[in-house]
């Protein structure tokens, strides 16, 4: 962690529009589940606080962070307004850490370049479990909260963009954006 102490749970609630009517998928890695459970709870509670209905939040479990890519791809085909991927990758003695972290980050970035639902990156890549604890509800707040805040902003961004680009009655090209966005 850098010298500057960042609290991941602090956000400007004025920038969040209501979550009412939004459908959100949360893909959760079971590897380091004590940490990912806490990140999930942080995200879930924040969505509920901003009026996303419990029944509109879908949790999708996958074995490890590497499988977040496939989970998010499947979710993108289901018309969610936003998708959050949650994982925790901790530096070990092998180079697995680098391979998994880079693959997940690059692949999730690619999923954000099609015109489907935005995929929010809530994957901790830490040197040790102490750092992960501190970012999942400890000294540095909870990255799940930050991810939920980002998901709400991005889902509403699509709404705003569609308002400006909605097709005229003469020009009814089909949009691939989620129907309720």
Report d(CA 32, CA 15) in Å as an integer. Answer: 32
Candidates 19, 87, 137, 144: give the one binding ligand DLZ (CB under 6 A). Answer: 87
Using the rule CB under 6 A, give the single segment among 11-19, 47-55, 72-80, 81-89 that binds ligand DLZ.
Answer: 81-89
- Tell me if residue 50 is catalytic: no
69: helix, strand or coil: helix
For the CB of residue 164, give the shortest distance to ligand DLZ in the complex, in Å: 39
What residues between 52 and 71 interact with ligand DLZ by CB under 6 A? 63-67
Kindly state whether residue 16 participates in binding ligand DLZ, applying the rule CB under 6 A. no
Q: How far is CA 135 from CA 63, 125, 143, in A?
A: 21, 10, 6
Using the rule CB under 6 A, give the single segment among 44-52, 73-81, 85-93, 134-142 that binds ligand DLZ.
Answer: 85-93
Report d(CA 167, CA 181) in Å as an integer. Answer: 14
What residues between 19 and 38 interact with ligand DLZ by CB under 6 A? 29, 31-32
- C-alpha 175 chain-centroid distance: 23
DSSP 139: T
Identity of the residue, 105 or 157, whose beta carbon is nearer to ligand DLZ in the bound complex: 105
For the record, the structure tokens of 120 come out as 């929010």
Go through the chain and tell me how many residues it has: 181
Identity of the residue, 105 or 154, whose beta carbon is nearer to ligand DLZ in the bound complex: 105
- C-alpha 22 chain-centroid distance: 14
Catalytic positions are: 96
Positions in the binding site for ligand DLZ (CB under 6 A): 29, 31-32, 63-67, 87-90, 92, 96, 100
């Amino acid at each position: 962690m850098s010298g500057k102490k960042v609290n991941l749970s602090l956000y400007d609630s004025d920038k969040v529009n209501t979550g009412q009517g939004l459908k959100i998928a949360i893909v959760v890695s079971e590897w380091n589940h004590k940490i990912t459970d806490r990140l999930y709870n942080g995200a879930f509670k924040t969505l509920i606080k901003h009026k996303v209905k419990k029944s509109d939040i879908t949790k999708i479990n996958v074995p490890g962070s590497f499988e977040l890519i496939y989970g998010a791809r499947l979710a993108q085909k289901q018309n969610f307004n936003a998708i959050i991927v949650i994982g925790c990758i901790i530096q070990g003695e092998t180079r697995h850490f680098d391979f998994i972290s880079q693959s997940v980050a690059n692949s999730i970035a690619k999923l954000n370049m099609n015109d489907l639902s935005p995929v929010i990156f809530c994957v901790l890549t830490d040197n040790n479990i102490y750092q992960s604890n501190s970012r999942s509800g400890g000294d540095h707040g909870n990255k799940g909260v930050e991810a939920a805040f980002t998901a709400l902003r991005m889902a509403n961004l699509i709404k705003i963009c569609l308002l400006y680009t909605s097709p005229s009655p003469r020009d009814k090209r089909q949009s691939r954006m989620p129907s309720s966005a």
